[in-house]
Structure 1
């Protein structure tokens, strides 16, 4: 990691508690470096591919690195992106929690980003750094040694494509995300990441590309389209999520709020748009972190 600037102090939303019930506070292998994986996005709705990303990343870590995964988090974006069709955070958080709690034994959902004003991905990662290493104190080895935990962003390969696209991400945020934290990128069908990664050569050592051994192109966009056409989405999503969508009549109409563009890249584009709108509105609505 190259960027050494300290993360900012955080004031959490009222009633907020960082989820740590599945966070492994004891490092099983003292020769390893503890790692937490964080995926940001709309998750509207959360699909099996979102969950598979974590499993693929953990497999890669186990077999190819000197890390040990001690936690995995989904961080849904806030309603404040004002993106047309973004489903309310309450629904998205509920679906993510159903998926994580009923289909996984290690994933958690952090509502911090979803329940407040928009937050840049760089700031979201700083939040995890603060909660895991400052508030929780990192992890302990079996010998009793305290260890800080590394935080890494987990995303699909479309993230790297937009990071190499001029004007989508600020240079400071790229350096903060890729330099301080790093990212694990899950390959998606038909995507060629060579050129995108070459354009980010400065941070190449902090970009880990993970190939899909079984191709899966399920997306939230396709799921919403299926629902609007009256087609079944069962076995594309966790069963409890399908039941929740059907019970609440979500995504049925064209006018029903749907989602931001795919994953972290779409959220970051919207964040930049909101940042711009806030600055144009004047000091009363702008944020110092913009």
Structure 2
């Protein structure tokens, strides 16, 4: 599924060339989802996980990918009016990464979105891990860690497979008060592939951001409400362009 036409490895190679920390385990992050549209929490969670894994576990995160889900899956969830094609969702992710000034380590993975049919998130993650290590052969394989919110982690069966697969893992981003008793229980169980990341940054503790969703953004746009604090101006501009082309 993954290939050099769908997945740009140049950022990984460049970041590897800049480091002398050969002893640190190399990690790549991936976040899948409809991203219809991408919003600030998608990217801020990737940044938060990167910082946490490097600070707490001593990993070297050499890159990260936003991976828009296949049209087949997104069309099944959304109305025809709300659905945005994979092409547009990829473009908006690219614009958001640039506006967030994270292009030195984040990029968009097109493999999932351009596959012949919908692929589960666990298979997407495994395919990315195999592709990266086939091209970039280090003494120790590069680990691919999936970034998930607490709600997705608790309801998705695919998370179990990623927690058990070698050289993979799951980073779960949560906020204070979100089922912390369960999280503390999980912390007491030794698991080298599960990482809980508490996000207490002021911007994400604000009510508007902590409950951010693409659904909310779509509804606010329909109502003529401002949502620049929830997503990026470049994304809003892109959505306006699409809307004008339809009318």
Interval of TM-score (by shorter of Structure 1 and Structure 2): 0.7 to 0.9
Provide the alpha-carbon RMSD of the alignment. 2.7
1:52 and 2:44 matched:
yes
| Aligned: 1:25 with 2:16 | yes
Q: Does 1:246 align with 2:240?
A: yes
Partner SS, residue 73 of structure 1: strand
Per-residue CA deviations over 1:198-236 (Å, capped at 9, x if unaligned) read 589877442211111221322212111111111112232
Match of residue 154 from structure 1:
147
Q: Give the 3 Å change call, closer, same or farther, for CA 190–90 of structure 1 in structure 2.
A: farther
How has the CA–CA distance of structure 1 residues 190 and 21 changed in structure 2, closer, same or farther, with 3 Å as cutoff? Answer: same
Distance 1:111 1:197 in 2: 36
Structure 2 distance, partners of 1:150, 1:203, is 18
Q: Give, in whole Å, the separation in 1 of the partners of 2:55 and 2:187.
A: 25
Gaps of 5+ in 2: none
Equivalent residue of 1:221, what SS? helix
Distance 1:201 1:162, change over 3 A: farther
**Structure 1 runs not aligned, ≥5 long:** 1-9, 139-145, 164-168, 254-290
**Counterpart among 179, 186, 189 of residue 192 in structure 1:** 179
Q: Distance in 2 between matches of 1:57 and 1:226?
A: 28
Matches within 5 A, 1:201-216: 204-214=191-201, 215=205, 216=209
Deviations 1:100-136 (A, max 9, x none): 2342131010010011210011110111112210123
Structure with the bigger percentage of helix: 2
Q: Which stretch shows the higher mean deviation, 86-95 or 111-120?
A: 86-95
TM-score of the two chains, using structure 2 as the length reference: 0.81
CA contact (8 A) 2:97 2:106 kept: yes
Q: Deviations over 1:170-212 (max 9, x none)?
A: xxx4443111211101114652153378589877442211111
Query: Which residue is equivalent to 1:128?
Result: 128
2:162 matched to which residue of 1? Answer: 177
Q: After alignment, is 16-25 or 199-208 more displaced? A: 199-208
| Residues 1:36 and 2:28 are matched in the alignment | yes
Q: How many residues are paired up? A: 226
Q: Is the 8 A contact 1:184 1:208 kept in 2?
A: yes
